[in-house]
């Protein structure tokens, strides 16, 4: 703060702050390791320099300035009471591969999935934000989808997690290739099981499937606020989940029903998923809680759709997650460091800084 604002001092000073400054909201122990005196000076200076920023960071609740001679302990991380063996490791950089397959154009031009590019853009943005390497594949036949899954299962770039997003038409058995042939769901997931993909043994394999699973239209039921006031439509059908461990398959709709996509903004499921992934990752929420929020969000959507008889009917939809996860799966939001550049304050994505250094 006391350094003269000279151009020749800016580069080394910027390098120093980037490499030494800490994010007290997510990594307080780094501050503690610099010693009690350094902690007191840094926090006191921050409070004096920008009290508004100090309050917004909520530093007092995350990191108390220790008394002299006292030992500083880091604040407990979310879910730390469950132990690290209860949460999937998510520390690799990059986190892993995210493969996005989007079939927009088909043999029959009338089957074009207008609006699907918005889903691709949203998925690409959120998973890059979460630290994944993103690969986008467009307009693939059923056989090409199967071949792509075999190819990516052998990819050397696997990290702590694998994510695959498939968007197309479909039915209850699988998704439709651009040749209008069906690729069974098992042909998409099985290449990543323990027998076929040793690199991902014990690691989460996540599949988001945006596709119809039939031609049925989900009916609307009224829900009133208050205990015991709900009318619940029950079905006796039992849905199975994958037998292999560490899989999550999030389907955009239940078996037998259509999946709704807006031709301008994209699909209800994918757009809600991207929104809640970004919000939930910042709060440290696990994926099942995020998907529960997605279910609630999507089930409340209102719209109209043309049925098989060309009649306009109410559009309702409920996604369906299936999983064999053994631990909590938390997509960690990237660290953001608050950096002081002489008289300005900048927030930097920590992963980007690491690559620059």
Query: Which of the residues are catalytic?
Result: 169, 212
Cα 188 → chain centroid: 20
Structure tokens at 353: 């800084």
CA pair distance 12, 55, nearest whole angstrom: 29
Tokens 């029903």 -> residue? 257
Cα 272 → chain centroid: 11
Q: Which residues contact 38 (CB under 8 A, 6 or more apart)?
A: 31
Element (H, E) at 31: helix 28-33
Tokens 């031709």 -> residue? 263
Cα 82 → chain centroid: 22
CB neighbours (10 Å) of residue 102?
A: 21
Q: Which residues contact 126 (CB under 8 A, 6 or more apart)?
A: 274, 277, 278
- Report the SS3 class of residue 337: strand
- For residue 120, which of 210, 213, 188 has the smallest C-alpha distance? 210
CB neighbours (10 Å) of residue 121?
A: 14
Q: Classify 217 in phi/psi space as left (phi over 0), alpha (psi -120 to 50) or beta.
A: beta
CA pair distance 40, 74, nearest whole angstrom: 15
CA pair distance 29, 40, nearest whole angstrom: 14
CA pair distance 284, 80, nearest whole angstrom: 11
Say if CB 101 and CB 140 are below 8 A apart: yes
């Amino acid at each position: 703060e006391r350094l003269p604002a000279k151009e020749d001092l800016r580069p080394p000073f910027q390098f120093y702050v980037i490499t030494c400054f800490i994010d007290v909201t997510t990594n307080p122990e780094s501050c503690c390791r610099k010693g009690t005196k350094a902690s007191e000076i840094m926090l006191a200076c921050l409070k004096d320099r920008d009290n508004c920023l100090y309050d917004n960071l909520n530093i007092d609740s995350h990191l108390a300035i220790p008394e002299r001679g006292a030992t500083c302990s880091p604040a407990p991380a979310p879910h730390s009471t469950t132990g690290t063996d209860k949460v999937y490791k998510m520390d690799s950089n990059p986190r892993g591969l995210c493969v996005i397959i989007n079939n927009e154009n088909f043999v029959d031009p009338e089957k074009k999935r207008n609006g699907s590019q918005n889903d691709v853009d949203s998925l690409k943005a959120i998973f890059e934000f979460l630290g994944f390497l993103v690969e986008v594949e467009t307009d693939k036949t059923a056989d090409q989808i199967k071949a792509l899954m075999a190819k990516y299962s052998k990819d050397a770039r696997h990290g702590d997690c694998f994510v695959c997003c498939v968007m197309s038409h479909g039915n209850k058995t699988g998704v439709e290739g651009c040749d209008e042939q069906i690729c069974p769901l098992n042909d998409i997931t099985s290449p990543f099981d323990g027998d076929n993909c040793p690199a991902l043994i014990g690691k989460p394999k996540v599949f988001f499937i945006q596709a119809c699973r039939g031609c049925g239209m989900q009916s609307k039921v009224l829900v009133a606020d208050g205990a015991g006031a709900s009318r619940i439509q029950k079905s006796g059908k039992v849905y199975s989940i994958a037998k292999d461990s560490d899989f999550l398959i999030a389907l955009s709709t239940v078996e037998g029903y259509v999946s709704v996509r807006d031709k301008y903004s994209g699909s209800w499921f994918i757009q809600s998923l991207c929104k809640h992934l970004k919000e939930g990752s910042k709060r440290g929420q696990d994926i099942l809680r995020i998907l529960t929020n997605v279910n609630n969000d999507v089930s409340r959507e209102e719209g109209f759709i043309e049925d098989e008889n060309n009649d306009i009917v109410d559009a309702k939809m409920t996604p369906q997650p299936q999983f064999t996860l053994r631990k909590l799966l938390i997509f960690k939001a990237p660290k953001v460091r608050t950096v002081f550049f002489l008289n300005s304050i900048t927030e930097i994505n920590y992963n980007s800084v690491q690559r620059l250094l």
